[in-house]
Chain A
Amino acid sequence: MTAHFTSPAFKENAHQALHDPALQRALGNVESGFIAKRRKAADKLPEFEALRDSARDIKNHTLAHLDLYLEAYEARVTAAGGQVHFAPTAEDASKIVVDICRRVGARTVAKGKSMISEEIELNAHLEAAGVKPIETDLGEYIIQLRGERPSHIVAPVIHLNRDQIESDFRRVHRDLPPERDLHAPESLLAEARGVLRQKFLAADVGITGANFLVAETGTSIIVTNEGNGDLSQTLPRVHIVLASIEKLVPTLEDASQMLRVLARSATGQEISVYTTFSTGPRRPGDVDGPEEYHVVLLDNGRSAMLGGEFREMLRCIRCAACMNHCPVYHAVGGHAYGWVYPGPMGSVLSPSLIGVDKAGQLPNASTFCGRCESVCPVRIPLPKLMRHWREREFERHLSPATVRSGLKLWGFFARRPRLYRLATRAGMGALALLGRGKGRFRTLPFAGGWTATRDFAAPEGGTFQAQWAARKERA
């Protein structure tokens, strides 16, 4: 595993994020943008909740028979003249893509948005092989200019403000007139389009991700709002689809059901602006399309999840509704999570893919408020799955020593009601005496994380159980 991550430093990352005024300003857009739009789209569709059930069921069925659907999918792709490559690891997937690029003598590659490409760190591998990757999704293009990583799986530059992007464009697009007006977001989009259009034409290979792979027809489906995916896959000579194995759905009918919940959950759109289907290379008589068509199917730990307690995570369709509704994501943004997948879905998935020893902070950094589960279009019980990671950590003694010893002490008393009543009565009496002047504490040992910024209410004095017993005796 060569993955580059800072997930073990989640707390430090979060600290920096909380003290970054530009980031905090940008993060305001997550709350104000996505949530109301999703609500509105869901409310407009009376059958939305039933569609979520159906989406969950389609994915459950597919995962239960994934071997079958993978075989069927491969057979259809092959019949259409394409080739499927199975990649057990991230390294394998990058190597397959790089080998194809080398074989066809590619100098530049036009890329549509793909989180799998991030997961396998494809751009670094391509560059090392002398192939220039060009991100064609506006957000990914900006990320590439800045040498960053996406901070959100649908809106990669949600951590940036418009003025930051304008200064990047002025820095990089040197051949354009410096006095041009880039104030409106549309003008940034138009400029990126103009720059990218020439690159599409020059690219030898196009790489896209996939939102769904259809076993029935061997089709890959992508949804975009810019149309860059269409150009990435139709203009170059070679088209490579990069997808993970859980993207399969059985039929086109199933795919269309999934599309109905995807855009509504992600951006509040009824459907994305472009929904693009691709099945194999150009056929005789087709006016456009690639000469070669490849699908690289990444496993990278997913088949191991199939048989275990994290299987439900494989239903995820990457809509990002969970992070859009997460109070922790709102506070710290996506980069703090330290790897490719942020927010609640990442807090479950990342430990599976890079190890709980490295990503263990993530499933702990949740209040378990449950808002993610309440909006997940495929009803993944995200808090429950995060709790499963905490159980694994506890079993493997990976939880912090302070947490373990605190729990142990609490558990010792809580298991012994009589001792508990004696100890708590004495303890609360003492604390009540200490705090009685003000009724609260400004500092407390072992609770510095709380009292640094919040007061802590002092006990009223006397436990409820003791007072209740005394009252009953008097009565």
Chain B
Amino acid sequence: MSAASAPSRPRVGLFATCLVDLIRPSIGFAAAKLIEQAGCEVVVPPQTCCGQPAFNNGDRATARDLALQAIDAFQGVDYVVAPSGSCAGQLKKHVPELFAGEPDLSRRADAFAAKVFELVTFLVDVRGMTSVPARFDGVVTYHDSCAGLRELGVKAQPRRLLESVQGLTIAEMKDPDVCCGFGGTFAVKYGEISDAIVAKKTDNVVAAGAGTLLAGDLGCLMNMAGKLQRQGRPVRARHVAEVLAGMGEEPAIGEPTRGE
């Protein structure tokens, strides 16, 4: 790994995101594998949270502390890549807002934000990846998570890579770009409304006729998977990185882990 030289082999700091770190580490490994396939070295600096829950609940002080912590932790890397449009959006779009008008901090925040990318856009737009050497036998449908779609323009890139997966067919659902009702703490604070929104989403997912639901954000996926499972609907949910990395045979979100 250390054999390759720096310029041709950029150093990527993987920002796993707290949900992936805590709930589904396999997404982190899938992301790392893809970043390596894109010709980069992967490092995982000590990290916690991007600060979005604090930021979106009005707690700017905590959001600032966590932003500075991330800026420090990822100082020595060429890129910061997160398998989440939501967390990448926080780091890329909102961290600079937190320090607007403070020249020194603002410069650091801007330089940091310029290095941040959502995983799939990094692979396609930055590294020029057009295909992946993966196989997945089945029909999938892809949900466009809101922050990735509207803050970072994640839309065509995941579909392009998915089309290169052997054996995979994409069946688009109705309104793939409409919110699933997750919204972070919204899903708990306004659980009843969140549920009404996700129920429409799972209807669309099922109507698409796919066996697997993919998306680029674990929060949205847990929401949709949790609803599908409670409804007893046999659609399995995974992060898009799992399929792209050829790890689509592992237990899906909310399924028991193997061998236990």
Distance between B217 CB and nearest chain A CB, rounded to angstroms: 12
With A414-B66, A464-B20 in contact, do A367 and B188 touch (Cβ < 8 Å)?
no
Find residues 147-198 in chain A having any chain B CB closer than 8 Å to their own CB. none
- With a cutoff of 8 Å between Cβ atoms, the chain B residues found around residue A407 in the complex are 53-54, 57, 59, 62
With A368-B146, A369-B183, A387-B58 in contact, do A453 and B24 touch (Cβ < 8 Å)?
no
- With a cutoff of 8 Å between Cβ atoms, the chain B residues found around residue A415 in the complex are 48, 62, 65-66, 69
Report the bound CA distance from A260 to B185 in whole Å. Answer: 38
Q: CB distance A450 to B56 under 8 Å?
A: no
Closest to A415 in B: B65
Residue in B57, B147, B193, B223 whose CB lies within 8 Å of A399: B57
Closest to B73 in A: A417
Q: CB distance A436 to B257 under 8 Å?
A: yes
* Residue with the highest number of chain A CB atoms closer than 10 Å, among B59, B147, B185, B195: B59
Q: How large is the interface on B (under 10, 10 to 19, 20 to 34, 35 or more residues)?
A: 35 or more
Residue in A364, A436, A462 whose CB lies within 8 Å of B260: A436
- Contacts between the two chains (Cβ within 8 Å), count: 221
Q: CB distance B188 to A463 under 8 Å?
A: no
Q: CB distance B47 to A457 under 8 Å?
A: no
Residue in B47, B147, B197 whose CB lies within 8 Å of A417: B47
Find residues 187-227 in chain B having any chain A CB closer than 8 Å to their own CB. 187-198, 200, 222-223, 225-227
Q: A213-243 interface mask toward B, CB cutoff 8 Å, 1 = contact, 0 = none?
A: 0000000000000000000000000000000
Distance between A275 CB and nearest chain B CB, rounded to angstroms: 32
Q: How large is the interface on A (under 10, 10 to 19, 20 to 34, 35 or more residues)?
A: 35 or more
Report the bound CA distance from A366 to B56 in whole Å. Answer: 10
Q: CB distance A413 to B48 under 8 Å?
A: yes
With A14-B192, A456-B226 in contact, do A327 and B53 touch (Cβ < 8 Å)?
no
Distance between A369 CB and nearest chain B CB, rounded to angstroms: 4
With A394-B58, A407-B53, A460-B24 in contact, do A366 and B254 touch (Cβ < 8 Å)?
no
Find residues 453-475 in chain A having any chain B CB closer than 8 Å to their own CB. 453-465, 467-469
A50 at the interface (CB under 8 A from B): no
One of B105-113, B121-129, B174-182 contacting the partner: B174-182
Q: A1-28 interface mask toward B, CB cutoff 8 Å, 1 = contact, 0 = none?
A: 0000000000100110010000000000
Residue in B179, B182, B194, B196 whose CB lies within 8 Å of A449: B194
With A417-B47, A439-B257, A455-B226 in contact, do A392 and B58 touch (Cβ < 8 Å)?
yes
Q: CB distance A399 to B58 under 8 Å?
A: yes
Q: B54-90 interface mask toward A, CB cutoff 8 Å, 1 = contact, 0 = none?
A: 1111111010011001000100000000000000000
A390 at the interface (CB under 8 A from B): yes
Q: CB distance B254 to A457 under 8 Å?
A: yes
Q: CB distance B69 to A450 under 8 Å?
A: no
Report the bound CA distance from A332 to B194 in whole Å. Answer: 11
Q: CB distance B195 to A428 under 8 Å?
A: no
Report the bound CA distance from A465 to B23 in whole Å. Answer: 12
Q: CB distance A462 to B25 under 8 Å?
A: yes
Find residues 306-328 in chain A having any chain B CB closer than 8 Å to their own CB. 327-328
Report the bound CA distance from A454 to B195 in whole Å. Answer: 8
Report the bound CA distance from A56 to B252 in whole Å. Answer: 46
Residue in A410, A447, A465 whose CB lies within 8 Å of B47: A465
Q: CB distance B226 to A450 under 8 Å?
A: yes
- With a cutoff of 8 Å between Cβ atoms, the chain A residues found around residue B181 in the complex are 327, 367
B21 at the interface (CB under 8 A from A): yes
A438 at the interface (CB under 8 A from B): yes
Known pairs A369-B146, A410-B54. 9 more at Cβ < 8 A? A367-B146, A368-B146, A368-B186, A373-B150, A439-B255, A450-B191, A457-B225, A465-B44, A468-B29
Residue contacts A-B, CB under 8 angstroms, 19 given: A14-B193, A328-B193, A332-B193, A365-B186, A365-B193, A369-B179, A369-B183, A393-B58, A411-B62, A414-B49, A414-B51, A415-B65, A417-B48, A446-B188, A450-B191, A452-B195, A456-B222, A457-B254, A463-B25
